[in-house]
Amino acid sequence: MPYANKVKSIDEALAPLRSGMRLMLGEFVGAGEAACCIEALLASDIGGLTLIANTPGLRGGFLKARLFASGQLAEFIGTHVGTTEESTVAYLDEAVRVAEFFPMGTWAEKVRAGAMGLGGVLVPVGIGILDQPGVFPARGTPKDKVTLDGREFFLERPLTADVSIIKGWRADTFGNVEFRGTSLQNQRDIAMAGRYTIVEVNEIVEVGTLAPERVGCPGVFVDAVVQGLSLEAQHAMYKAQWAKLGRLPQDAATATAAATAA
């Protein structure tokens, strides 16, 4: 039986995303972001989104951080808001609702619970701190707790999304994904926690090209494959951003951009 071809244009892939939905994005402080999908989202009139992501992204007006300034987000569910100016301002101005923050490992476990269909996870981290009165006034109710074998745990419920967007290095036309570097993260769990999942990749290959042991996310969890930036263009984009932030010499970014253009 032939494998389904899931390659779509970005507009086709994003078509199921509607205003008011829950959107989960893979990344880690800007690394492993689906650049082309985010740019398309920023250019759209989709709004009122609940964004579920580890961090708000990388500072300096980079990709996902701009969603906090565009007015397209209603709520953010993550680990903190301090990695970008845009998210910090949106939080302090109460332009984006943040009911509570989660320790990074807790957030990842909540996503995994959503991916695996679990009812929740029991987490001891933060007992005696995150359950203090007034810590999360936007919650309205205390955090749920369970006592087991004499220990207290938070009952953390699963995180799921209407749409998940992840970023890979390569994918075949069926949606099997190979990751590289920091983009490994927990993107498979994010893919599995979405009812509809898009993967943006640097390179699309035929089924059978990827070695089975290199597949980080099986195609059964992916609904659409989209072509993103080439790996060279992606490297140039990140080097230019790091140079902008003073973490790389400007001439290094300029040289990289010139080599990519050539």
Q: What is the mean pLDDT of the chain?
A: 93
Tell me the CATH number at 194: 3.40.1080.10
% of the chain exceeding 90 in pLDDT: 86
In a domain, 25, yes or no: yes
Q: Does the pLDDT of residue 75 top 90, yes or no? A: yes
Query: Binning pLDDT at 50, 70 and 90, where does residue 257 land?
Result: low
In a domain, 109, yes or no: no
In a domain, 241, yes or no: no
Say what the pLDDT of residue 1 is.
67
What is the mean pLDDT of the segment spanning 91-95? 96
Say what the pLDDT of residue 68 is.
97
Residue numbers of the domain that contains 141: 121-156
In a domain, 60, yes or no: yes
Angle of the 250-261 helix axis to the 231-244 helix axis, nearest 10: 160
Which of 132, 156, 180 terminates a domain? The answer is 156
CA distance 35 to 220: 23
Residue 63 class from Cβ within 10 Å (0-12 exposed, 13-18 middle, 19+ buried)? Answer: buried
What is the mean pLDDT of the segment spanning 75-99? 96
Q: What are phi and psi of 184, to 5 degrees?
A: -55, -55
Domain co-membership, 40 together with 22: yes
Give the E-state strand segments of 90-246 in sequence order: 121-123, 145-148, 151-156, 161-172, 177-178, 194-205, 224-227
Domain co-membership, 145 together with 173: no
Domain co-membership, 66 together with 152: no
Weakest-pLDDT range from 56-70, 98-112, 126-140, 143-157: 126-140
Domain co-membership, 37 together with 77: yes
Domain co-membership, 24 together with 128: no
> For 65-74, what is each residue's pLDDT tens digit?
999 999 999 9
Domain co-membership, 32 together with 147: no
Say what the pLDDT of residue 181 is.
87
Query: Contact at 8 Å (CB) between 187 and 179?
Result: yes
In a domain, 43, yes or no: yes
In a domain, 108, yes or no: no
Q: Does the pLDDT of residue 131 top 70, yes or no? A: yes
User: In this structure, how many other beta carbons lie within 10 angstroms of the beta carbon of residue 69?
Assistant: 18
How many domains are there within the chain? 2
Most confident of 133-142, 176-185, 232-241: 232-241
Domain co-membership, 85 together with 30: yes
Say what the pLDDT of residue 254 is.
57
Domain co-membership, 79 together with 170: yes
In a domain, 206, yes or no: yes
Domain co-membership, 163 together with 55: yes
Q: 76-94: buried (b, 16+ CB within 10 Å) or exposed (e) per residue?
A: bbbbbbebbebbbebbeee
In a domain, 258, yes or no: no
Say what the pLDDT of residue 252 is.
56
Domain co-membership, 86 together with 141: no
Domain co-membership, 68 together with 90: yes
**What is the pTM assigned to this prediction?**
0.92
* Residue 75: strand, helix, or coil: strand
